[in-house]
Amino acid sequence: MTLILQGMRRSGTTIVYDALAQDPALTLWYEPLAAAVNPAVGGGSGAREVDPFEGLRAARTEFLTARGLSDPAPLNLGGPRDATLEFEREFPPLVADYLRFLLDRPGPVAAKCTRLYAKVPAVAALFPAAGFVHLVRDPRAVVASYLFGKGRKHEPQASPPDVFFGRRSNRTAWSSYPISELVRREYAGESLPEPTDLERILLVWRFTFEQVKLDAARSYGERAIRLRHEDFCVDPATELVRLYTLDGRTPPAKVVSWAKANVRLPGPIHAAGDRRWREAFTRMGMVGLVEEAGYEAA
């Protein structure tokens, strides 16, 4: 079976990928719709000293060469190249062929993605028998990951509560600003207030969660599951069983043992008791969604 794993950026998608990479029977692709031009040793998790794009670059070259093409740019479907591409509901024909080339293979195949949140029905049209995994993380943790930056380098200046909850700027990370502007258009009918930097990330969380939740249920039904990052960190063995059940297999011992040894427990939520979290969720119209996902909205 083919497995499609989709989660918002900074939601712990790479650590799940890292665990699955221990499965020798699995053909696994890392962000097939990203640029993938430069090495990305460690990916988003830093758990392994490997470049997860290495195999993808080789497959892209094979795919393009067979078609007399050489430029991989059309296969890069999103920010920072062009965030609007992430909001298109269909795949260009070349990209659809490319995804079939990657995923229509004998044996188990999986792809870890962060750019499919608006295209789940299009994915289902290509791979109707696939299993779908919706990866989710506490929106408060996602916000801190964005605002503090890689290696938490911006934490000293971004962490004071008045700055953390109140700053408005055009600062971007992982294409967050242009994506948040596009998300605002999606919710234009709600007349949401001008967002702070924190609320921009929450809006992206809201849209990606809401869109995938609805479309995965419609497109994949019981073959779609939601996997929360926190649950995976606390009990990776149980969550891996849920994931592998979609593929009709049990997780190999090597995958489980690697996850138990390398997946870290979630850290504390920044400013967890601050009432401004609830205010931000309310302003962005997402209190019910946060609670539905099993997270604190207070």
**CATH number, position 95:** 3.40.50
Which residue type, as a one-letter code, is found at position 51?
Answer: D
Contact 22, 14 (CB under 8 A): no
Predicted confidence at residue 128, as pLDDT, reads: 97
Distance CA 230, CA 266 (A): 6
Predicted confidence at residue 39, as pLDDT, reads: 82
Structure tokens given for 21: 């990479």
Question: Does some domain include residue 298?
Answer: no
* C-alpha distance across the termini of the chain, in Å: 40
Question: Does some domain include residue 77?
Answer: yes
Predicted confidence at residue 22, as pLDDT, reads: 97
Residue given tokens 């962060």 in the structure block: 114
Question: Does some domain include residue 297?
Answer: no
- The segments of the chain whose pLDDT lies below 50 read none
Residues in the chain: 298
List residues bridging with 28 in a β-sheet: 110
Structure tokens given for 272: 């967890």
Predicted confidence at residue 44, as pLDDT, reads: 73
Predicted confidence at residue 159, as pLDDT, reads: 96
Question: Does some domain include residue 202?
Answer: yes
Q: Is 131 helix (H, G, I), strand (E, B) or coil?
A: strand
Which uninterrupted H or E stretch holds 2? Answer: strand 2-7
Which residue type, as a one-letter code, is found at position 155?
Answer: E
What is the domain range of residue 140?
2-292
Q: Total domain count for the chain? A: 1
Q: Is 159 helix (H, G, I), strand (E, B) or coil?
A: coil
Which uninterrupted H or E stretch holds 276? Answer: helix 276-283
Distance CA 10, CA 42 (A): 14
Question: Does some domain include residue 187?
Answer: yes
Question: Does some domain include residue 55?
Answer: yes
- Residues ≥6 apart with Cβ < 8 Å to 8: 114, 117, 135, 136, 137, 142, 204, 205, 208, 209
Distance CA 173, CA 204 (A): 12
